[in-house]
Amino acid sequence: MAFRDGPFESLKVPLAWTAAVVVVVAIIASILMIVADRRHEAAGDSYGTARAGFDAGAGPVNGVLAWPVRWAGAATDYVKGYFFAVSENRRLRAQVAELEPWRDQAIALKNVNARYEAMLGLRTEPPVAMATARSISESRGPFVNARLLDAGASRGVRVGNPAINEDGLVGRVIGVSGGVSRMLLLTDVSSRIPVLVDRTDARAMLSGDGSGNPRLEFVRGDDAVQAGDRILTSGDGGGLPRGLPIGVAAKGIDGSWRVKLFSDRGAIDYVRILLFQDFGQLVSSESLNASPLAGLPTAPAPSAEAVVAIGDAAARRARAPVTAPTRAAASPTAPAAPAAATPDPSPAERAE
């Protein structure tokens, strides 16, 4: 039965009113999405109740839906590895032979640095606690480039914690619920990370623009960046620890400096969240109050009585008259006078 032969054959909807209703609904939906997507809150730890509940409910569901995709990806990687095992083995053998001298040099430098640190009394930073999480879903769109992780506040994760994988820095946590957290990738338009160039120690700002390679902005110094330079986190501002690998510098087609991320070398299935808040958690009060001379023996301070006795003895010696030698004592035939008995010096004089 055709639509015109049914009960709705006499139903007529004006086209203008339909278009107006669609436009109004679209505007209302857009306003709601913009309001719900507020990222710049007054409090850094604010995370809306509605969004936290949505993430907590969407986490398990997205994990189940993503399982076939993960299985297909793992099967594809297995097949590729099976057919390209010979060439991969040759490449790895050449890489191992190239890295063996560097390993020996690294071991020698490590021992030398340990001796220098012991001699200078340097305090190395303690290791940062980590929480391993699995990326359960990926959110792609014109405004957000983020991922959901199956680790939340119950495991100590807080807003601002950096997340890394086996290759380098991936992003930072922007929202936390009980068992799920949301990670903002470095490529998002809202991502701003202070970085440094490993070769020249020049500071810069890594800004995401939605592409796969974020930009290097506000580079300090002339000729501070060259193609192939390693880019690390600088730790400026205390939000991130210093020295996390990010990528290598490359010249973009628009003439600006960009960074090829280390984290793009493979799929981001698992990450490690650094439970890092600021540098204050790495500094203990005992290490700050400890003095490098604390282990050396020190002489006890003299008491007030000893100081007075030493001063009286010095004053008596200064007032004592100087006697000239007598003629009888100078004559060789004169009997020698008995030596006058001198009193034993006092404990204060012996201390002097």
Provide the pLDDT confidence category of residue 333 given band limits of 50, 70 and 90: very low
What pLDDT digit, counting tens, does each position of 12-66 carry?
A: 657 777 888 888 999 988 887 776 655 444 444 455 666 667 667 766 777 677 7
Residue-wise pLDDT tens digits, 136-177: 776 655 556 888 898 999 999 999 999 999 889 999 998 898
Assign 239 a pLDDT band (cuts: 50, 70, 90): confident
Residue 56 to residue 51: CA distance in whole angstroms: 8
* Long-range CB contact pairs, 304-311, < 8 A, 24+: 306/348, 306/351, 309/346, 309/347, 309/348, 309/349, 310/348, 310/349, 310/351, 310/352
Give the model's confidence band at 308: pLDDT under 50 very low, under 70 low, under 90 confident, else very high. very low
Tell me the pLDDT band of 223, cut-offs 50, 70 and 90: confident
Angle 225-226-228 (CA atoms, 0-180°, nearest 5)? 120
Fold of 53-83+125-282: Thrombin, subunit H (2.40.10)
The pLDDT of 243-254, averaged and rounded, is: 92
Q: Which residues neighbour 206 within 8 Å (Cβ) at sequence distance 6 or greater?
A: 186, 191, 192, 193, 194, 195, 214, 215, 216, 217, 231, 246, 259
pLDDT at 5: 56
pLDDT reading at 287 higher than 50: no
How many of the other CB atoms lie within 10 Å of CB of 274? 22
Residue 96 has pLDDT above 80, yes or no: yes
Q: What is the pLDDT of residue 282?
A: 61
Taking only the tens place, the pLDDT of each residue in 322-331 is 444 444 444 4
- Max avg pLDDT among 141-150, 233-242, 333-342: 233-242
